[in-house]
């Protein structure tokens, strides 16, 4: 047992080992997607999806990429804040269904309408398809704020892992397009697809769902051309400027290969005079934000998002 892993996380690692769950890097894409979806369904047996006031499945429509979205209204109140949410999964895995519980809980905890985005994924649709879809969905939310019953001045982008990467990139694109976002929430985001930080060496093997080899597996599918790794739309730290970005909350897992690039990006934004807040959860591994009902810090992190938005949107 790694000494720095929280006991609740270690229990999950032990269960996965006992069940013989294969590593992502040893699987085909269809098998990995099936595993993610089946795991999400199994979790519903012990942690039912929270009820919300209304759920709507729709599309962004013409002019906005026809991107499928699922909208969670936690309340019947008018003109609520909104979170445009991009799920994780290395740009290859994950879905509206596998993130349904997370987005419901996030809506209820924050009081914000959550717009979960079903962006195109690799390898069928590699970079920059996901970036285009996520930006289109964000523009659509702003353009249709009245119909969606959301406050156009209180729209936040949010995502975990690959979704955190997309949120960071969309925040940059929004600034460049003179679109004002209220905030960006980056949950253990992928910031540099070139990797190589010390946390890759420290936590690259034996720390749960994401290993160094797994990052390469995802990268090879999302960014098939090595030259794309340097593109700021894949590696947002490479943007020419980070000034003028929306305020940012970073949720970081201590025992995660992505830890160092997340903390470095927070410092980069702060140096560009962006308002930032960073919370590193001791003993947590990649993916803990999704472990509702299993790991106390999953709920704690959701509440931290709510607290950040309450302060930022005041």
Can you tell me the distance from the alpha carbon of 110 to that of 123, in angstroms, rounded to the nearest whole number?
A: 34
Number of CB atoms found within 10 A of residue 20's CB? 6
Q: Which helix (H) or strand (E) holds 70?
A: strand 68-73
Catalytic entry in 161, 199, 297, 302:
161
Q: What is the DSSP letter of 21?
A: P
Residue reference for tokens 């720390």: 207
- Establish whether 242 is a catalytic residue: no
- Establish whether 161 is a catalytic residue: yes
- Establish whether 87 is a catalytic residue: no
Catalytic entry in 6, 242, 286, 302:
286
Catalytic entry in 118, 160, 192, 256:
256
Number of CB atoms found within 10 A of residue 314's CB? 5
Buried b (16+ CB within 10 A) or exposed e, 123-151: eeebbbbbbbbbbbbbbbbbebbeebbbb
CB 295 within 8 A of CB 8: yes
Active site positions, annotated: 161, 256, 286
């Amino acid at each position: 047992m790694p000494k720095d892993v929280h006991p609740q996380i270690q229990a999950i690692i032990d269960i996965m080992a006992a069940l013989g769950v294969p590593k992502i890097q040893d699987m085909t894409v269809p098998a990995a997607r099936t595993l993610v979806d089946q795991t999400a369904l199994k979790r519903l047996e012990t942690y039912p999806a929270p009820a919300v006031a209304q759920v709507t499945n729709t599309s962004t429509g013409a002019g906005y990429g026809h991107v499928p979205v699922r909208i969670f209204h936690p309340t019947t109140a008018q003109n609520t804040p909104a979170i445009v949410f991009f799920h994780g999964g290395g740009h290859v895995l994950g879905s509206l269904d596998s993130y349904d519980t997370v987005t419901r809980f996030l809506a209820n905890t924050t009081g914000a309408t959550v717009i979960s985005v079903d962006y195109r994924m690799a390898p069928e649709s590699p970079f920059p398809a996901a970036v285009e879809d996520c930006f289109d969905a964000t523009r659509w939310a702003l353009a249709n704020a009245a119909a969606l019953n959301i406050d156009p001045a209180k729209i936040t982008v949010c995502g975990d892992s690959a979704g955190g990467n997309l949120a960071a990139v969309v925040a940059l694109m929004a600034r460049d397009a003179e679109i004002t976002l209220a905030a960006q929430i980056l949950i253990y985001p992928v910031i540099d697809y070139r990797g190589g930080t010390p946390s890759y060496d420290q936590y690259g093997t034996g720390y749960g769902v994401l290993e160094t080899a797994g990052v390469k597996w995802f990268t090879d599918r999302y960014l098939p051309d090595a030259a794309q790794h340097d593109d700021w739309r894949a590696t947002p730290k490479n943007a020419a400027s980070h000034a003028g970005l929306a305020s940012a909350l970073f949720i970081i897992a201590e025992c995660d290969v992505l830890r160092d690039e997340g903390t470095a990006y927070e410092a980069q934004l702060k140096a560009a005079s962006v308002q930032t807040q960073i919370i590193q959860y001791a003993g947590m591994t990649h993916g803990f934000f999704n472990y509702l009902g299993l790991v106390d810090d999953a709920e704690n992190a959701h509440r931290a998002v709510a607290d950040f938005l309450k302060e930022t949107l005041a």
